[in-house]
Amino acid sequence: MPARLIDSLNTTEALADVFSDESLLQAMLDFEAALSRAEAAEGIVPAAAAKVISTAAKAASSDIAGIAALVRETQRAGTPGIPIAKALTARVRGVDAEAARFVHWGATSQDVADTGLILLLKRAQPILAADLSRLEKNLQALSEKHRDTTMLGRTLLQAAPPVTFGLKAAGWLGAIRRSRVRLDAAFGEALVLQFGGASGTLAALGGKGLAVGKAMAADLELGFPDAPWHAQRDRLGALVAASGVLTGALGKMARDVSLLMQGEVGEASEAGGEERGGSSTMPQKRNPIASSLALAAANRVPGLVAAFLAGMVQEHERGVGGWQAEWPTVAHVIQSTGAAAAAMAEVAGGLEVDAARMRENIEATHGTIFAERAAMLLRESLGREAAHKLMEEATRKSTAQGRPLAEVLREIPEVTKVLDRKTLDGLDRPENYLGVAEELRKRLLEF
């Protein structure tokens, strides 16, 4: 289903479908169906009853409950598990009154709600993985293409010694890859069944609780945890936190791109076309729209992460108010992360890099960004403090007069005694002052 208009900048169509009301309803019904089948296999409920329950647990072809009615009943019950079980029981009763006795047998409402959410996360994972894979592939190609493209380094938003755009792209890639690895691990831990019954002991099933739980986990293709986790939300907390870190890494890339797109910088731009990046009033503009979506997510997600972590302090075996707050928090975090990943994959795939403008911006500094290089060359003869002071004065004069730094240095006897003409002539060539930039780029790409 398409995203709601109010959520249109905070999700993707695929993730909006995953977290839709219909999808969540079916996920909770899938829990109930798997429960009945596992219990039938253990001889706890009749096989015939399990068959009727499984057949009835199909939201798309049933009238189990209108979404609006389900919302109202959930608000009164404090959990969706109660109205879901009630509605499913009524539907089963209409087919087989005896089978209706076995709906939701031995489970608790939080089992339904938690497993329903986990099933949605299971569907969301490959969607995020696909966009992140596309993004990583695009960034790798971008870094390779521009391994020799020099540009200004920028520290505290001020011009600094040169770097390569290939290194910058590799830096984005490194952070995103590390964050994706953490996210994958968090998904691996979080995608587990919730099944504990009233107090987390499965006492209603006697000695067959573990067998039923293992069968349910296999049926739903989820992991089977060491114990129910009703009040232990660490796995979900790790997933939410990993999503927050990844979104931050995506936001860092988006911030850099949007700054490079500023008119007075003009070194890169997102791909245009298909009404992407235009202005309603200024025809000349190409706005960093995809980057703005990632930045919006990076602004939004930290608060959601904090909200989830605050709700982890839950009481005894089942919490009051903590897990009830999680559904929208987790859904918004995952969708925001996915929206950022999809947006930046698009950016990396179509980013237009203006290498000539990058060179022009280096030259516009009149060589002052190489003051560090000159100071290092002078230190051995003049000492650190004297060399630093001399270069401060020389760069100030270069800037004030709009003259190349090397030209100013040629007029200073203390400099010409140490540095020959060839050295001064090559002082402002960025290719000569990249250090181990290429080695660092390659290290970032090794994974």
Give this prediction's pTM.
0.93
Q: What is the pLDDT of residue 112?
A: 97
Estimate to the nearest angstrom the gap between the alpha carbon of 334 and the chain centroid: 7
Is residue 265 over pLDDT 90?
yes
Active site residues: 279, 318
The domain total for the chain is 2
Q: Do residues 305 and 420 both lie within one domain?
A: no
First to last CA, the chain: 37
How large is the average pLDDT for residues 411-427? Answer: 92
314 and 422 housed in the same domain? no
pLDDT at 413 over 60: yes
Residues 395 and 268 occupy one common structural domain = no
What's the angle, vertex CA 340, arms to CA 336 and CA 344, rounded to 5?
170
Q: What's the average model confidence in pLDDT over 308-319?
A: 95
Q: Are residues 249 and 398 in the same domain?
A: no
394 inside domain: yes
Q: Tell me the chain's radius of gyration from C-alpha atoms.
A: 30
Beta carbons of 265 and 255 less than 8 angstroms apart: no
Q: Is the dihedral of CA 30, 32, 37, 41 positive or negative?
A: positive
| Tens digit of each residue's pLDDT (9 = 90 or more) over 24-38 | 999 999 999 999 999
- Alpha-carbon distance of 400 to 403, in angstroms, equals 8
The pair of three-digit structure tokens given for residue 42, joined into one six-digit string: 């253990």
Is 91 a domain residue? no
In order of 74, 108, 216, the CA distances from 53 in angstroms are: 22, 17, 15
Co-location of 296 and 326 in the same domain: yes
- Give tens-digit pLDDT for 99-110: 999 999 999 999
What ranges make up the beta strands (E) of 328-447?
352-353
At 277 the pLDDT is 54
Residue 319 has pLDDT above 70, yes or no: yes
Find the helix packing angle between 437-445 and 109-145, rounded to 10°.
140
Q: Has residue 181 been placed in a domain? A: yes
Span of 115-129, 185-199, 311-325, 347-361 with lowest mean pLDDT: 311-325
Q: Which domain does 383 fall in, by range?
A: 368-427
- Same domain flag for 402 and 335: no
> CB-based contacts of 19: which residues, under 8 Å, 6+ apart?
11, 120, 124, 331, 334, 335
Give the pLDDT band (50/70/90) at residue 64: low
Of the three residues 334, 359, 384, the one that is the final residue of a domain is 359
- For position 170, which CATH number holds? 1.20.200.10
CA–CA distance, 394 with 400 (Å, rounded to integer): 10
Residues 239 and 305 in one domain: yes
Q: Considering 359, 391, 411, which residue would you say is the last residue of a domain?
A: 359
Whether residue 6 is contained in a domain is answered as no
| 353 and 379 together in one domain | no
Name the pLDDT band for 276 (thresholds 50, 70, 90): low
pLDDT of residue 279 exceeding 90: no
pLDDT of residue 67: 80
Same domain, yes or no: 276 and 404: no
What percentage of the chain exceeds 70 in pLDDT? 95
27 in any annotated domain? no
- With contact defined as beta carbons under 8 Å apart, do 45 and 103 qualify? no
> Which one of 359, 379, 403 terminates a domain?
359
* Position 300 in a domain: yes
Condensed to tens digits (0 to 9), the pLDDT of residues 118-164 reads 999 999 999 999 999 999 999 999 999 999 999 999 999 999 999 99
Q: pLDDT grade, residue 280 (50/70/90)? A: very low
**Residue 152 forms part of a structural domain:** yes
Rounded average pLDDT over 270-279 = 64
Q: What pLDDT, on the 0 to 100 scale, is given for residue 243?
A: 98
In a domain, 89, yes or no: no
Q: Say what the pLDDT of residue 283 is.
A: 44
Is the confidence at residue 8, as pLDDT, over 90? no
Q: Enumerate residues 6+ apart whose C-beta is below 8 A from 386.
A: 378
* Distance separating alpha carbons of residues 336 and 6, to the nearest angstrom: 13
Query: What is the model's pLDDT at position 70?
Result: 84
* Co-location of 293 and 419 in the same domain: no
Percent of the chain whose predicted confidence (pLDDT) is above 90: 87
Both 137 and 233 in one domain: the answer is yes
More confidently predicted of 273 and 367: 367
Q: What is the DSSP string of 83-101?
A: HHHHHHHHHHHTT-HHHHT
Cα separation, 16 vs 3, whole angstroms:
5
CATH number of the domain where residue 422 is located: 1.10.40.30
Residue 7, pLDDT > 80, answer yes
Residue 272 has pLDDT above 80, yes or no: no
Mean pLDDT, the chain, integer? 93
The pLDDT value recorded for residue 273 is 60
Report the pLDDT value the prediction gives residue 442, as an integer from 0 to 100.
97
- The pLDDT assigned to 59 comes to 80
CA atoms within 13 A on the CB side of 369: 24
12: CB partners within 8 A, 6+ apart = 3, 127, 131, 335, 338, 339, 342
Co-location of 337 and 422 in the same domain = no
